[in-house]
Chain A
Amino acid sequence: MADICKKDRTESEKPVTDEKINLLDYFRFAPKGFMGIYDYDDSKITLNLQPGGYSSTSRLFDLDRLLERDKLREKDGFPRKIKLGKLVKPSKDGKDKSVIIPSAAEEKFYHWNSEPYLGEGESTGGNGDEQEGEVIGEEPLRPDEGEGQGGAGKGEGGEHGTGADAFEIGRILTEQFELPNIKDKGKKTALTRYTYDLTDLNRGHGQILDKKSTLKRIVKTNLAMDNIDLKKGIDTSKFIVTPRDRVYRTLSREKDYESQAIIFFVRDYSGSMQGKPTEAIVTQHVYIHSWLVYQYQRRVTSRFIVHDTDAVEVPDFYTYYNKNVAGGTDIASGYQLVNKIVKEENLARDYNIYIFHGTDGDDSDDDGSKSLEELSKMIDFANRIGITIAENSYTSRANSIVEKYLRRSKLLETYSKIIHMDSFKADEADEQRLIGSIKTLIS
């Protein structure tokens, strides 16, 4: 009580002028009741008016509305405009900061230097003392040389600082792009955690009265006591209620059985992937990653592998996302590493395993004997293998080495539940195509 008194006093001591009364309040609490014509004057009216209200952004839409807007375009027969991307700021402790950013290109006829395809990048200005022809700097094509090879012993893939945002993008994807839910195949039970829920029933006392059960109980009791005469009709006011009839729900510890998933993202980063194919694959993997994180409510562990002729596991999505292109191609190396990790860490027992592989379809292993061998091993444990082939502009359609040997192997038909493949021209891979491709991979 004393406290309350004190509080009252301090409030009343406060000088009235300190209080911000907006105009509406001012009228509401006008001392003389309703104000007459002569009670208004400029100083009163303008006293508390904020110049706000006018802002360049007063009509700013939020992302969801903008996406809805974008959806309407499809209805009107125009391609969608908004692309969702992610901006990541790497940090040393692994807690990368990232945000989802939408972007929309202003498409016009722009000049564009297509020469980089000829082996030489665009020229720019510079300043310094070197002679003509001298190299002034270099940038590794394959960064982070020597970083943790294999990574098999590195445990559960670490924490993903990007989790929260992948969650966000996934939400948008599942809601806006209507991806079908991935099938929860072969649920492997694994203890994950306890949840506390109001599921236990208790008679007599407890946290929350379960009215329905209580009513049933009462009816039962009264029937037993012969208190109900059906011929006369039910008069609830005559019901006798005993304390034991009250049914309560109480908080209880529940074992939560949830399946876990581990996702392997495998990306070809050989030289031929430069440009469009990489862009398409990486973008698609961003989508899949984000969406899985969403779908599995953060119970998804992702592992990232890049390969050219050798495969390397990289610690996080950011590195995976940003790896530059490097040398030749040996697809088997990537599969091999996946199999090795799964075997050594005994992942198949506890996890749903998904493998998404992106390549441009070039492989030095022409008949695919090595790759196919690894792939068949993979089929044994994987819930789904999704292979994306983003073809280079110079490859003719559906005619890449990988696609050819995959089709020849009949793996696609024999294990149509497990292995899916989609190929498209990297040039034509707009957002819809990529989403469509994801649908193919996970259908």
Chain B
Amino acid sequence: MKLINQHTKKIMEGCKARAKEFGLNFSKDTLEYYVTNVDLIELSPKHMIPTLYDYWLQDIQVLHGKGEYEIYPSNPYETVINTRPVISFYNDTNPDWLNVMIFYHVIGHIDFFQNNKFFEKTWDYDFKQKALTEKRIIAKLRAQKGRVVDYVIEFAKSIDNLVSYFRHLAEDENVRNILSLPDKADYYFNHFLQSEKKIGLREYLQEIELYNKWEEKEGKSKVESFFDKVTLKNPEFEELFHNRKIEKDIARPDLMQFIMNESKFINKEQNVWMKTIFEIIRDTSLYFSPMMRTKIMNEGWASYWHEKLFLSDDRIKGHEVAFARINAKVTALSRVGLNPYAIGWRLFMHVEEMANQGKYTYDYQKLNNANERKLFDSDTKSGNDFIFHVRANYCDSTFVNRFVDQEFVDKHKLMVVGQRINMQKGVKEYYVKSRKAEDYKQMMFESLYHPPHVAFHQRENGTLYINHEFEGKELYRDYVKNTLIGIEYLWGDTVKLETTELDYDEMKRQYAQLDKGKAPQDIKIKPAFNRVLYTVKDKKVTRQKFG
């Protein structure tokens, strides 16, 4: 690993200057390193952060990566990490023109890291420095405590996807100010009107309007008087307000914090050091969370800019064809599959075009006539500003939800591809399942990162009861057992997990009752879901069905 040479650095600086002119906004200093492919393989288990703590299973991943590389050698172009300053890694064999393209791509990422609100929590510190300190702490602990350290790392990691990232994001003064209405108003709008009065949306909005006007008129300090009127209309309000259950959602810990705070095992005097590791694993998971949730946007944004900036760069005249080939490799839509570069890039361009034509307006949305919709163009020229707004305020799920529309799906001939077995022909068929935007969106949601949601509490007998909220997908069964063993270790007492699983016996029974003459692809067996309870005690896991 060494810094890029002066010649190449100059190219990078040139790219940065040009990118700034286009409105990209990022910190002045960056570090670029040359790395070998082996370096990258070795870095990948550490998520490319060279200073991340050591852990023996990372070594397995490295050996795995090296084996794969031996069979399928590949040449990664670049990788960039969200640190202060931002560090990016390159192959030293790239020609200058290719570096120009790659640098623009990297600059796109840097701009995204530093402006997208979901990364807000990573802006105030340098993760690689923090990681270095943590690496030393872990090394020191390992020297003192031996391999127990690795068990704690392993098991803490086994629940590090259950951290409440969004709550963490809300631990912010601005957000808290927005959320922290005066208690009475909070109760009135968030509970009373919704759950007690169950009023309609229109009335609700009117009520908010009234409140805002009142606040404007009377001033913030006297806004309470608003509720005098409310009490006149609803005599029960005062009493309900006083008896309300105080629920401060923000303060509720996630599973990692809960175990850290409540575990008998960890809170033993000789085990308290484990909390340090817990904090490290949790922080690391939170640090990487925004990246997981902005994959399509991040790559789309970087691809958008590397194309736009490259083509307008005067330094690379004559390499357009070579660029087109490489660019196509990166951003071509796959016949079957989801390429985040391709989808993200096209979606940003689509959003820009739609915004330019003024199509994100009520005037457009109310049109029903297809032809009118097609011809609609209020020429707002606001597309560029709008995509900057999108890059700052959206994450993948909101990005897809808001902007994947039928126009987009049609324009790029997108479709949902299904698979089915055709027994007569002895083949697995890929077929066009749908071309509807709604279905496409749904398919994309299904493929987005979405960790399971669990609720949990401690029973009187000391058992930790985890309740998995079923959202249509069961937990990957092979991993449930060992994950539970890990949680039990950390918890120091019995752990129970309630979750939902497919009942194969029931489905087999349905199958047996079916008319055997039917073609296999016509056979539809209803998925039979069952609530099941896993119990782990003394490293023994048992499973039982409810009811």
B417 interface hit (Cβ, 8 Å): yes
B502 interface hit (Cβ, 8 Å): yes
Q: Which residue on B lies nearest to A127, using beta carbons?
A: B333
Chain A hits for B479, CB < 8 A? 105, 107-110
A394 interface hit (Cβ, 8 Å): yes
Task: Indicate which residue in B68, B447, B525 contacts A124 across the interface (CB closer than 8 Å).
Answer: B447
Encoded as 1 (CB less than 8 Å from any A CB) or 0, chain B from 464 to 501 comes to 00001001011111111011011000000000000001
Q: Is the CB of B428 within 8 A of A112?
A: no
Within 8 A of A (CB), among B509-534: 520-521, 523-525, 527
Chain A hits for B480, CB < 8 A? 109
Question: Chain B's nearest CB lies how many Å from the CB of A87?
Answer: 5
A114 interface hit (Cβ, 8 Å): yes
Q: Is the CB of A117 within 8 A of B337?
A: no
Within 8 A of B (CB), among A69-113: 69, 72, 76-79, 81-82, 87-89, 97-113
Chain A hits for B430, CB < 8 A? 126, 135-139
Q: Which residue on B lies nearest to A112, using beta carbons?
A: B476
Question: Chain A's nearest CB lies how many Å from the CB of B508?
Answer: 4
Instruction: Give complex CA distance A353, B535 in Å.
Output: 46
Chain A hits for B429, CB < 8 A? 135, 137-138
Q: A57-B42, A108-B159, A133-B431 are in contact. Are A124 and B425 (CB under 8 A)?
A: no
Chain B hits for A111, CB < 8 A? 450-452, 471, 473-476
Q: A109-B479, A128-B415, A133-B432 are in contact. Are A104 and B57 (CB under 8 A)?
A: yes
Q: Is the CB of A101 within 8 A of B474?
A: no
Q: Is the CB of A124 within 8 A of B63?
A: no
B338 interface hit (Cβ, 8 Å): yes
Instruction: Give complex CA distance A8, B413 in Å.
Output: 75
Chain A hits for B475, CB < 8 A? 109-112
Q: Is the CB of B527 within 8 A of A78?
A: no
Task: Indicate which residue in B60, B433, B502 contacts A82 across the interface (CB closer than 8 Å).
Answer: B60
Q: Is the CB of A103 within 8 A of B60?
A: yes
Instruction: Give complex CA distance A66, B452 in Å.
Output: 31
Q: Is the CB of B336 within 8 A of A79?
A: no
Q: A78-B485, A114-B473 are in contact. Are A102 and B420 (CB under 8 A)?
A: no
B434 interface hit (Cβ, 8 Å): yes
Question: Chain B's nearest CB lies how many Å from the CB of A186?
Answer: 39
Instruction: Give complex CA distance A56, B147 in Å.
Output: 20
Task: Indicate which residue in A72, A97, A134 contacts B432 across the interface (CB closer than 8 Å).
Answer: A134
A427 interface hit (Cβ, 8 Å): yes
Encoded as 1 (CB less than 8 Å from any A CB) or 0, chain B from 31 to 69 comes to 000000001001100100010001011011111100110
Q: Is the CB of B483 within 8 A of A109?
A: yes
B426 interface hit (Cβ, 8 Å): yes
Q: Is the CB of B56 within 8 A of A69?
A: yes
Which of under 10, 10 to 19, 20 to 34, or 35 or more describes the interface residues of A? 35 or more
Encoded as 1 (CB less than 8 Å from any A CB) or 0, chain B from 435 to 449 comes to 100001001101100
Encoded as 1 (CB less than 8 Å from any A CB) or 0, chain B from 402 to 423 comes to 0000000000111111111111
Q: Is the CB of A132 within 8 A of B434?
A: yes
A131 interface hit (Cβ, 8 Å): yes
Question: Chain B's nearest CB lies how many Å from the CB of A30?
Answer: 30
Instruction: Give complex CA distance A81, B64 in Å.
Output: 14
Which of under 10, 10 to 19, 20 to 34, or 35 or more describes the interface residues of B? 35 or more
Candidate in A100, A103, A129 with the most chain B CB atoms within 10 angstroms: A103
A2 interface hit (Cβ, 8 Å): no
A412 interface hit (Cβ, 8 Å): no
B157 interface hit (Cβ, 8 Å): yes
Q: Is the CB of A79 within 8 A of B485?
A: yes
Q: Is the CB of B67 within 8 A of A104?
A: no
Q: Is the CB of B422 within 8 A of A66?
A: no
Instruction: Give complex CA distance A136, B338 in Å.
Output: 16
A49 interface hit (Cβ, 8 Å): no
Instruction: Give complex CA distance A305, B377 in Å.
Output: 66
Q: Is the CB of B508 within 8 A of A394?
A: yes
Q: Is the CB of A107 within 8 A of B482?
A: yes
Q: Is the CB of A138 within 8 A of B432?
A: no
Chain A hits for B414, CB < 8 A? 125-127
Q: Is the CB of B60 within 8 A of A117?
A: no
Encoded as 1 (CB less than 8 Å from any B CB) or 0, chain A from 156 to 174 comes to 0000000000000000000
Question: Chain B's nearest CB lies how many Å from the CB of A73?
Answer: 8
Instruction: Give complex CA distance A110, B429 in Å.
Output: 27
Question: Chain A's nearest CB lies how many Å from the CB of B127?
Answer: 15
Q: Is the CB of A140 within 8 A of B523?
A: no
Chain A hits for B360, CB < 8 A? none
Q: Is the CB of B417 within 8 A of A136?
A: yes
A229 interface hit (Cβ, 8 Å): no
Q: Is the CB of A76 within 8 A of B432?
A: no
Encoded as 1 (CB less than 8 Å from any A CB) or 0, chain B from 57 to 86 comes to 101111110011011100000000000000
Chain A hits for B419, CB < 8 A? 120-123
Q: A87-B68, A119-B523, A141-B428 are in contact. Are A124 and B336 (CB under 8 A)?
A: yes
B427 interface hit (Cβ, 8 Å): yes
A404 interface hit (Cβ, 8 Å): no
Q: Which residue on B lies nearest to A130, using beta carbons?
A: B432
A59 interface hit (Cβ, 8 Å): yes
Instruction: Give complex CA distance A138, B427 in Å.
Output: 6
Task: Indicate which residue in B158, B427, B428, B471 contacts A108 across the interface (CB closer than 8 Å).
Answer: B158
B166 interface hit (Cβ, 8 Å): no
B366 interface hit (Cβ, 8 Å): no
Q: Is the CB of B477 within 8 A of A427?
A: yes
Q: Is the CB of A127 within 8 A of B67?
A: no
A19 interface hit (Cβ, 8 Å): no
Task: Indicate which residue in A99, A110, A125, A139 contacts B67 across the interface (CB closer than 8 Å).
Answer: A99
Task: Indicate which residue in B433, B485, B504 contacts A123 across the interface (CB closer than 8 Å).
Answer: B433
Chain B hits for A112, CB < 8 A? 473-477
Chain B hits for A136, CB < 8 A? 335-336, 417, 430-432
Candidate in A82, A89, A394 with the most chain B CB atoms within 10 angstroms: A394
Task: Indicate which residue in B158, B447, B521, B539 contacts A107 across the interface (CB closer than 8 Å).
Answer: B158
Within 8 A of A (CB), among B76-113: none
Question: Chain A's nearest CB lies how many Å from the CB of B37?
Answer: 14
Question: Chain A's nearest CB lies how many Å from the CB of B300?
Answer: 14
Q: Is the CB of B70 within 8 A of A99?
A: yes
B311 interface hit (Cβ, 8 Å): no
Chain B hits for A271, CB < 8 A? 423
Q: A127-B335, A128-B413 are in contact. Are A57 and B62 (CB under 8 A)?
A: yes
Q: Is the CB of B525 within 8 A of A138?
A: no
Chain B hits for A77, CB < 8 A? 539
Q: Which residue on A lies nearest to B148, using beta carbons?
A: A76
A151 interface hit (Cβ, 8 Å): no
Q: Is the CB of A61 within 8 A of B428?
A: no
B151 interface hit (Cβ, 8 Å): yes
Q: Is the CB of B421 within 8 A of A119?
A: yes
B122 interface hit (Cβ, 8 Å): no
Question: Chain B's nearest CB lies how many Å from the CB of A58?
Answer: 9
Q: Which residue on B lies nearest to A61, using beta carbons?
A: B59
Q: Is the CB of A87 within 8 A of B71?
A: yes
A-B contact pairs, 28 of them (CB 8 A): A51-B2, A66-B59, A69-B147, A72-B147, A76-B151, A87-B68, A97-B70, A101-B68, A106-B158, A108-B159, A110-B476, A112-B476, A114-B501, A124-B338, A125-B336, A125-B337, A125-B447, A126-B414, A126-B415, A127-B333, A127-B415, A128-B432, A138-B428, A141-B421, A327-B423, A327-B426, A394-B508, A427-B477
Shortest 7 CB-CB contacts between residues of A and residues of B: A121-B419, A101-B67, A112-B476, A126-B417, A394-B508, A107-B479, A138-B427
User: Could you tell me which A residues sit within 8 Å of B by CB distance?
Assistant: 51, 55-57, 59-61, 63, 66, 69, 72, 76-79, 81-82, 87-89, 97-115, 117-142, 271, 326-327, 393-394, 427
Contacts A125-B415, A137-B430 supplied; 8 other A-B pairs, CB < 8 Å? A60-B59, A97-B71, A99-B67, A107-B486, A112-B474, A122-B446, A124-B416, A126-B432
User: Could you tell me which B residues sit within 8 Å of A by CB distance?
Assistant: 2, 39, 42-43, 46, 50, 54, 56-57, 59-64, 67-68, 70-72, 147, 151, 157-162, 333-338, 343, 412-423, 425-435, 440, 443-444, 446-447, 450-452, 454, 468, 471, 473-480, 482-483, 485-486, 501-502, 504-505, 507-508, 520-521, 523-525, 527, 539
